[in-house]
Structure 1
Amino acid sequence: MRTLTPLHQLAAEQKSAEVTDWAARISWVVGLLLFIALVYWLMRQGWKWRGSLQSDLPELTAAPDGLAGETALLTLTGRYHASTTAGQWLDRIVAHGLGARSRAELTLTARGLDVRRPGATDFFIPAEDLREARLDKALAGKVLPEGGLLIITWAHGGTLIDSGFRSDRAAEHPAWVEAVDHLTSTTEGTAR
């Protein structure tokens, strides 16, 4: 008869413990799923609460009739990222669908900026409500390389709003800043 060395004896004793407590494991998984559902529900309630706090913001302006036949100064295809209170890059506005990210088609005319968003609310910013355009890197939690976002500041119902867009061709952004700023200076000159 062969004697076992301590190493062989140790190897012979080690084996995996059998899983016998399935109820405890299933209850942990169910508890984790319920926790995830609770966090999701709380986030959704927070979004609704933010929308109710911003309920004093008037409905968005629709594009005026005859705008389609007007000469476009610039067009842009890209993404709409968010709108925030001007100067407050984390204070997202969610009222009237402004919090929903989407594809966007922008058309700048002498009458204003037409924003078409498939799957989200379209809106129009009259030229007299446009304030400025600039390049930035962050808006409502979205951070991109320097100059990666086109930010257009506009007035709506007594509130200044920053809306962020990113063109499919980022090289278009400086032309947009120049065109919007030119339009706002022209509009301000005629309003005086």
Structure 2
Amino acid sequence: MDRLLLTLLCFAVFALCLYGMWRGWRRKARAQSVRIPPFPEVPADRGEVLLETRGLYVSTTMSGHWQDRIVTRGAGLRGPAVLRLHDGGIEVDRTGAPGFWIPRERIVGVGTAKGMAGKVMGTESLLVITWRLGDVELDTGLRGDDLSVYPQWIEKAKGGAQV
């Protein structure tokens, strides 16, 4: 009987922790939905694809705060993605989550990083796009399948601007 009560207590504590994390995620999403405008939708006429990279969408964070993940409007969902550079901006096409558009005139810089919320590596293997959304500056990170294309992204996406 003692073992059953201890097992039930452990399960209850675990369930309570899960509930607390779920509530915290929702609270953070509500607070961010007030401060952060909706992400731009991908335009119908994007133009020619100049550069394309497949990989893992890691996250979007507040610029300079690599652990402050943006969770509102589905931006916190990590998963497979394709980045496509067009004349007018960058399309972030995520599998199983809403994609979004980063207009070229809002790109502040493009560079590499060792880590971002949800992914940390020992090398500069994340491609990070810093951009403005309203009056908020964001970092969007992708762990590309082919790291050798990062210099092309850094050069072409914002004319050589570095993060």
Whichever residue aligns with residue 96 of structure 1, its letter is R
**1:48 Cα deviation after fit:** 0.7
Q: 1:47 is paired with a residue of what secondary structure?
A: helix
Whichever residue aligns with residue 79 of structure 2, its letter is S
Distance in 1 (alpha carbons) for counterparts of 2:86 and 2:100: 14
Contact 1:127 1:183 in 2 (8 A): no
Q: 1:35 is paired with a residue of what secondary structure?
A: helix
Question: Does residue 1:136 correspond to 2:104, yes or no?
Answer: no
**1:141 Cα deviation after fit:** 4.2
Give the structure 2 partner of residue 32 of structure 1.
10
Distance in 1 (alpha carbons) for counterparts of 2:85 and 2:78: 20
Give the structure 2 partner of residue 175 of structure 1.
152
> Match for 1:116 among 76, 93, 103?
93
Structure showing greater relative contact order (alpha-carbon pairs closer than 8 Å, 6 or more residues apart): 2
Whichever residue aligns with residue 86 of structure 2, its letter is T
Contact 1:110 1:183 in 2 (8 A): no
Q: 1:45 is paired with a residue of what secondary structure?
A: helix
Distance in 2 (alpha carbons) for counterparts of 1:80 and 1:91: 16
Distance in 1 (alpha carbons) for counterparts of 2:59 and 2:131: 13
Q: 2:101 is paired with a residue of what secondary structure?
A: strand
Whichever residue aligns with residue 42 of structure 2, its letter is A
Contact 1:152 1:163 in 2 (8 A): yes
Distance in 1 (alpha carbons) for counterparts of 2:119 and 2:143: 11
Give the structure 1 partner of residue 28 of structure 2.
50
**1:145 Cα deviation after fit:** 2.5
Give the percent of matched residue pairs that are identical in Structure 1 and Structure 2. Answer: 34
**1:131 Cα deviation after fit:** 1.0
Q: 1:128 is paired with a residue of what secondary structure?
A: helix
Question: Does residue 1:98 correspond to 2:75, yes or no?
Answer: yes
> Can you give the 5+ residue segments of structure 2 that lack an aligned partner in the other structure?
none
Distance in 2 (alpha carbons) for counterparts of 1:159 and 1:76: 26
Specify which structure has the higher proportion of strand: 2
Divergent runs of 4+, >6 A: none
Computing the radius of gyration from Cα coordinates, the structure with the larger value is 1
Number of positions where the alignment pairs a residue of Structure 1 with one of Structure 2: 161
Q: 1:54 is paired with a residue of what secondary structure?
A: helix
Give the structure 2 partner of residue 41 of structure 1.
19
**1:181 Cα deviation after fit:** 2.5
**1:118 Cα deviation after fit:** 1.2
